[in-house]
Amino acid sequence: MTIVGTLSNETRLGPTLVCSCTAWVYSDFCQAPIGAFNNTEVCFEAAGFVFVHISLYVPIAEARIRHYKWEVKYEYKSPDCYKKLVITINGNLQDPQSWPRKIGTPWSDGTEGVTQCPVVPGDTFKYEFKVDRAGTYLYHAHYGMQRESGLYGSIRVSVPDNFTEPFAYDYDRSIILTDWYHKSTYEQATGLSSIPFVWVGEPQSLLIQGKGKFNCSSASLTANTCNTSNPECSPYAITVIPGKTYRLRVASLTALSALSFQIEGHNMTVVEADGHYVEPFVVKNLFIYSGETYSVLIKADQDPSRNYWMTTNVVGRLPNTTQGLGFLNYYPNHPRRSPPTVAPAGPIWNDTAPRLAQSLAIKAHHDFIVTPPTTSDRVIVFLNTQNEINGYRHWSVNNVSFTLPHTPYLIALKKKLHHQFSQTPPPEGYDFANYDIYNVAKNVNATTSNAIYRLGFNTTVDIILQNANTMFANNSETHPWHLHGHDFWVLGYGEGKFDMNKDPKKYNLVNPIMKNTVPLHPYGWTALRFKADNPGAWLFHCHIEAHFYMGRGVVFEEGIDKVGELPSSIMGCGETKGFGKP
Ligand SMILES: O=C1O[C@H]([C@@H](O)CO)C(O)=C1O
């Protein structure tokens, strides 16, 4: 953890600790007086949040062990000016930091019901894992829909000291983009699992690095509940020095929304995606889906006498949320000074073409190509549909909606408690010949199952994600799919129904990017390949909180016999009650 130097000349103003200098340089979680900026970052309390800059280093010769102690609890916060209960880490909403691949420690993946029992109130739990690749990652709660209460952050893993990255920049900054709901996750979850079904709806706000602005006058709210002058919800500002180049690590942990992110007057060069170097390409709008991370380079080469808007917009769904706003603050302008312009509007929400184009543009950097195996051992097709089961709304793959067992898979598999989940193998595909992906299914019924896909260890597996119409005419939604425990090669995207004979011939086997989260575009398909080389049980799911909650996910098992002794700390629920107790 790098907390270097101390604050000088500080004064405490309400919840905000500021230095009594006139000039400021803000880094991602920190602000520092300009004089101290070179090589000295000072972390301090900003608008009630203490953001600690966490840097992890890929170990070279010497193993470096970092310990982080987190106290996780509910607290009232007003990230978009509206006061609600959020989950904090050490008092902070949205701490900085995914666990990079948990090779050898699959029990540290944190997926409740898959790799461990839930961490119950009052309990402590220790996650231990080796950090094995540099890059930008995410971590978040994985129980029910708790993530969207604010329990998330990003991890920046630094490159080893002797390593040169394939691009240059002067400063490194990180932001997390989210959407924000005022209802509690429990109320939302209850609605989703009720008859009649109550949809969560569009978010109330979009947050940039934990800050947004809800229009408090839009509802009959008291100043105690919603107060736009609360410093907690003042726009997030990234301060830049004119002429310098910034690496901005942008991550999305939205509950629902696909986003477009833009910085007024500035192009962005995409150089990293989910921890892998990208063959650089330039965008005006960065489309980003929940669970993804990107690094973009920005040059502070515009008129330095003013600040510029940073904006986020909902795409892929009819927006009903005002855009998220932040500032690109050119030093020495004041970081709270509004840009003189009207914040630029985002792209048209229902134009899928530029989003598909961005997906197709992301290729591995030419010096960092990891060539995929040219063939695979198994192809699994996942038809993504919205369904009804006994009157309840669900999301399914191949008409099976996923449910979690009471005994986490990792423990049930390792201890051969096979009666704990269905042993009927789940379907490997759907009725390709007869299913019409463009219309509401003739039969919207599905079944639930907790069966899993068992993969041969070290085999190569292809996954074809196939999108379809929802239960409503002329509607197909965007789904970000996230795989735990692996990076996959993204072999291709396409429109319409995947053709098993023709489409594999178009796969990119030359320079495909490796990722861990990938969008499935409306009425389209996405093809992935991965090596089942990480012993354990791994979730693969839609990263939309409500959709995974409603059954949009699967579990893969591979090499369970190679998993080491399970720590007793992951046990205590289902049939593991009493396991591990002395
Ligand atoms: O799960 C969902 O339900 C709604 C809609 O289909 C029904 O209200 C929606 O947009 C989802 O993503």
- Report the distance separating Cα 532 and Cα 529, nearest Å: 10
The Cα 173–Cα 249 span in angstroms is 6
Dig out the tokens for 455 from the structure: 């993969």
Nearest CA to ligand 1 atom 1: 547
Of ligand 1's listed atoms, the one at least distance from the Cα of 386 is 1
Helix, strand, coil share (%) of the chain residues, nearest 5: 10, 35, 55
Measured from the Cβ of residue 425, the count of other Cβ atoms closer than 10 Å reads 11
Per-residue pLDDT of the chain (582 residues; tens, 9 = 90+): 222 222 222 222 222 222 222 223 333 333 333 333 222 223 222 222 222 223 333 333 345 788 889 999 999 999 999 999 999 999 988 754 434 476 789 999 999 999 999 999 999 999 998 888 999 999 999 999 999 999 999 999 999 989 999 999 999 999 999 999 999 999 999 999 999 999 999 999 999 999 999 999 876 788 899 999 999 999 999 999 999 999 999 999 999 999 999 999 999 999 999 999 999 999 999 999 999 999 999 999 999 999 999 999 999 999 999 999 999 999 999 999 999 999 999 999 999 999 999 999 999 999 999 999 999 999 999 999 999 999 999 999 999 999 999 999 999 999 999 999 999 999 999 999 999 999 999 999 999 999 999 999 999 999 999 999 999 999 999 999 999 999 999 999 999 999 999 999 999 999 999 999 999 999 999 999 999 999 999 999 999 999 999 999 999 999 999 999 999 999 999 999 988 665
Q: What is the pLDDT of residue 126?
A: 93
Cα 194 from Cα 393, distance rounded (Å): 8
545 lines ligand 1 (CB under 6 A): no
Could you give the CA distance from residue 154 to residue 430 in angstroms, rounded to a whole number?
37
CA of 72 to the centre of ligand 1 (A): 31
Prior bond to 196 cis, omega within 30? yes
Q: Which atom of ligand 1 is nearest to the CA of 395?
A: 1
Distance 384 CA to ligand 1 centre (A): 13
Give the residues across from 388 on adjacent strands.
393, 445
Q: Whose CA is nearest to atom 3 of ligand 1?
A: 199
Q: What is the pLDDT of residue 95?
A: 55
Determine if ligand 1 sits within 6 Å of the CB of residue 112: no
Q: What is the 3-state secondary structure (H, E, C) of 40-88?
A: CCCCCEECCEECCCCEEECCCCCCCCCCCCCCEEEEEECCCCECEEEEE
- The answer to whether the beta carbons of residues 203 and 321 sit under 8 Å apart is yes
Say if strands 49-50 and 45-46 run parallel, antiparallel, or are unpaired: antiparallel
- Other C-beta atoms closer than 10 Å to the C-beta of 128 total 12
199 lines ligand 1 (CB under 6 A): yes
Residues with Cβ within 8 Å of 233's Cβ and at least 6 positions away in sequence, in order, are 47, 78, 79, 80, 81, 211, 212, 213, 214
Residue 477 Cβ inside 6 Å of ligand 1? The answer reads: yes
Q: What is the DSSP string of 357-398?
A: HHHHH-BB-TTS--PPPSS-SEEEEEEEEEEEETTEEEEEET
Ligand 1 centroid – CA 326 distance (Å): 29
Q: Enumerate the H helices of 474-562 as residue ranges.
A: 545-549
Task: Classify residue 579 as exposed, middle or buried by CB count within 10 Å of its CB (0-12, 13-18, 19+).
Answer: middle
The pick from 318, 393, 395 for probing ligand 1's pocket by mutation, whose C-beta has the most ligand atoms within 8 angstroms, reads 393
Per the structure block, which two tokens stand in for 34? Answer: 């300009």
Q: Whose CA is nearest to atom 5 of ligand 1?
A: 199
For residue 332, say if its preceding peptide bond is cis, omega within 30 degrees of 0. yes
d(CA 567, CA 564): 9
Burial class (CB in 10 A: 0-12, 13-18, 19+), 461: buried
Minimal-distance CA residue to ligand 1 atom 2: 199
| pTM of this structure | 0.90
Q: Is residue 401 within 6 Å of ligand 1 at its C-beta?
A: no
- Taking CA atoms only, the protein residue closest to ligand 1 atom 8 is 199
Rounded CA gap, 344 and 146, in Å? 33
